[in-house]
Amino acid sequence: MTNVGIIGGTGYTGSELSRILCTHPDVTLTALTSRQNAGKKVTDVHTFLKGYSDISFIENISDAKDLDFVFVATPHGVAMNEVPALMDAGIKVVDLSGDYRLHDVSAYEKWYGHKHTDLENLSKAVYGLPELFRDKIKGADIVANPGCYATSAILACAPLMKSGVVDEDVIIDAKSGTSGAGMVPSPRLHHPTCGESIIPYSIGTHRHIPEIEMAVDMFSISHSKVTFVPHLIPIIRGILSSCYFTLKEDLDNAEIEQIYEKQYSKEFFVHYVKEPSIRAVVGSNHAHVGSQVIGNKVVAFGVLDNLVKGASGQAVQCMNLMLGLKEIAGINQPGLGV
């Protein structure tokens, strides 16, 4: 069994990782960090883990022994201070923050607002979207887990951009549930503000913009310009990204569907469907993609659970690949449906 630890065990992604890993057939969850809750039983904080874990929170991951793998589920700016020691100790890492996603240091410092202090490991980090970069993830020592919005959009955009049938520019209209904002309360997340509303935010400034552009440039024929507008909607989990392209040639819906089927027909977690549904994928590592031709335009859809395929589930999928385990191990569950 592989001994696994989580840095940042009380946030939404850390707690979701705990939920998934405590029943994973090939790993043992042996350490979770929390400065505020150090010494407390994990199940006193995460009561949903009653009967599945008997460990206590620790303050620092260095206090744990015999770890083989660590997930870093912290805000950006923290991971780069934790990862070097882990890598020096020969521990494989998946970082769920944004610290290792952008290989362009100037882009990171522009969008995240502070200096990157771990350029050595930044250069080694592999972008962790298995359906597109599986071979690079296998055997990697450090993987940068993609953002939730980015995963939804990239899965929708990739087949069309790889095929060269659309113009380079894309407009992405994305909607996410409130859990995507994390646990820290804010006026925007106050229920009377968001409970019966749809709120656009971070227009032109969202940190997933350079990430989407970077990933798309890895497989598109030419550089793409992304116009990204995220919205907060009054659900807890889930993302729907609607991506608008101009077609370079006359294609019908059947021809577009063939492009998606060529990309994803052999994938376990990504499915082309006529009507992508958030409820169909919530609680699972599955994602829906779809498309619709409208004249000389095509709209591509990407749908997922922001805490699973958009974060913790995908991180476990990457871990499985990095360790040579069965890729679907521990995350082989369908969506809730209702």
Active site residues: 148
| Neighbouring C-beta atoms of residue 68, cutoff 10 Å | 16
Query: In angstroms, what CA-CA distances link 308 with 146, 170, 172, 240, 333?
Result: 12, 25, 21, 14, 11
Phi-psi region of 215 (alpha: psi -120 to 50; beta: other; left: phi over 0): alpha
Contact 71, 16 (CB under 8 A): no
Please answer whether residues 116 and 138 qualify as being in contact, where contact means their C-beta atoms are separated by less than 8 angstroms: no
C-alpha angle 213-98-42 in degrees, rounded to nearest 5: 145
Cβ neighbours around 192 below 10 Å, total: 8
From CA 176, how far away is CA 147, in angstroms rounded?
12
> Does residue 97 contact residue 14 with C-beta atoms inside 8 Å?
no
Q: What are φ and ψ of residue 214, in 5° steps?
A: -65, -50
By DSSP bridging, strand 239-246 and strand 297-304 are antiparallel
Backbone CA torsion sign across 337, 265, 316, 103: negative
CA triple 290-292-297, angle to 5 deg:
130
Q: In sequence order, which residues have a C-beta less than 8 Å from that of residue 113 and are 6 or more positions away?
A: none
CB 251 within 8 A of CB 299: no
Integer CA distances (angstroms), 335 to 234, 278, 304, 306, 338, in order: 19, 9, 10, 13, 9
